[in-house]
Amino acid sequence: MEPDWVALMKRVRDDRDKAAFADLFTHFAPRVKGFLMKSGADATTAEECAQDVMTTLWRKADQFDPRRASVATWIFTIARNRRIDMLRRENRPEPEDLPWGPEPEPDQAEVIGLQQESALLVEALKALPEQQRDLIEKAYFGDLTQSEIASLTGLPLGTIKSRIRLALDRLRYLMK
């Protein structure tokens, strides 16, 4: 049986419980490293980044809200953001390659449209049943494969696929 990740996070958040952190670290650090390596990081960079993600979990545990995301989704979102930061640092242009002058202003209608669409998506996600919302968050915000979600949750792969398909259908309907 899988540990109660939310209870462990709350113990870290509320009591700075090192044993609870150790349990979270033991489970999630290797998975975060694997996720980072799958997304193109070499083993050393993935290891360093996974350590940084878990340090962030400890330092920012007070920001975890179980009503907004599962523990896995929260951790993998941190990992995804760290990976993006790493890529930005790696791809930072040399000063002579930087364009001169101000960046063009984005089209305001497009910005407003994206903001409205994002707000609609947030509301549609809230309307999903918790089981479906959790799977959508793991798949799309946690960048986990359906097989990884199945092994993480202990649910059969067919159940994962069905719930995600139902959730996506419901999201399409809610966002019309």
Total count of domains within the chain: 2
Inter-residue contact 124 to 171 (CB < 8 Å): yes
pLDDT at 159: 92
Q: Name the least confident of 68-77, 84-93, 163-172.
A: 84-93
Structural tokens at position 175: 């966002």
Q: How many residues does the chain have?
A: 176
Using the 3D structure, point to which of 49, 65, 93 is the last residue of a domain: 93
Residue at 150 is within a domain: yes
Task: Indicate whether 99 pLDDT > 70.
Answer: no
Percent of the chain with pLDDT over 90: 34
CA–CA–CA angle 26, 15, 30 (5° rounding): 15
Q: Which domain holds residue 145?
A: 113-171
> Domain check: are 79 and 146 in the same one?
no
Inter-residue contact 12 to 61 (CB < 8 Å): yes
Which amino acid, 14?
D
Inter-residue contact 6 to 61 (CB < 8 Å): no
Comparing 176 with 79, the larger pLDDT belongs to: 79
5: CATH: 1.10.1740.10
